[in-house]
Structure 1
Amino acid sequence: MFYSDDEKEKLIKQFLPKIKHLALRYHHIVQSVLELDDLISAGVKGLLEALNKYDPSLNVPLSSFIEYRIRGAILDEIRSLDVFSKEFRKKVEDVKKTWKNLRQSGREPTDEEIAASLDITPQQLQEIYQSITASDVISLDNSLISQNGDRLNLLEVISDEKDIFEEINLREVKERLSAAIESLSEIEKLVISLYYYEELNMKEIAQILGVSLSRVSQIHGKSLLKLKNFLEK
């Protein structure tokens, strides 16, 4: 479908607030290596690519398709940096396995117990939690967007016009996610809800909770680690 320069400019102005919102949402992850303007530029590029690739015959709303391409372009920009080293991924995996092993006792392990088992300080463990936010939010956010541009919310995995097998599969995913979220503490549930359901960024959540930005990232990272372990059972 062809769009004139004037139509493209109008759409860019229309979606610029959304682009800025998404750029801010992810900027805290890579603020040391990427400027906010870089993510905004990637979002604009995604919008223009959406206009070139949009096919009305697919019966997908243009606005949904554009948002999908914008988000995807920003996530691609971040992934292209390859920020997360093998050493970092090993640390995350070690924390994940330790949490799972200690959890077998039948109760929630404390951060002090996890740190002691890994022979690291509690502060180092908090830094790992914060880093988990940076790595997992990219893959998780990307997996919650379907290819036709529909967003599959973490709290509401909904299917429209699926065959019976897809219905059963998504129903199971939704039930498992709901059970996993219920296993979190109240503060962890709140952070997950505000970030994925309300789509607030980390800074906004920190202001609501009256805590530091790094503390929100730590809570978010620990929540993701617990959700992943729960879903892998």
Structure 2
Amino acid sequence: MDDLQIASDADSEQSLWRDWLASKAAKVRTRLFFFYSHWVRVVVAHLYSRYPHPLAEWNDYVNLASIGLLQAIDRFDPQLGNSFKAYAEPYIKGSVLKGLACYVKDRRTPESERLASLAQESGGGEDLSDLERIANVAIDLAFGYFLEMGVIEQEPVDNNPLSLYEAERGSLDLAELVKHLPANERQVIEGHYFQHLSFSQVSELMGVSKSRVSQLHGSALKRLRGAHRGIDDDQF
């Protein structure tokens, strides 16, 4: 079974590169990006432990590495017969180290982008009071933090088996909901929360405007909130 899975992955990888060479379409680059995302996190884990930075967090390393991955995808030529991972690793390492060298800690941008996105979504067409809109925005922000801290990196506060089980169960629930989002909303959530890309980077990756990414982000979190409550949303 393992050999069959390896063969299947290789076929999928080659197919993605053929599609990319033929079209250079943003949606194909996005698929390549997420195809290699697990491997990138393994590389990041090594860089994170070997090159600690007093101001940078895990998410910052992932973000910088993701930029390097995109650069490598744009410049790699699979027809030369080289391994993409061997080709891409120096780009990823270089992006991380250069980013850390001039890194200034500032979390205001992603948080303000999320808030603006959710505030815009909450104002659309619903017969809600101002208090209810504020409450919905707060709940959606919380879902975003759950995605960022729960699905991505599970770090329970202790080694109690029950704590580990509850963290894993909650993460799996949210991860499963994300899988059922419409494709464009899922790409925004995965890119922003799983790969820690800014809205601008997600818009470049997907080939859409930043305002469209903001809109998709707001609608995706609203959909996740409704699904998590067990509401039968016919759009989900």
TM, length-normalised to structure 1: 0.42
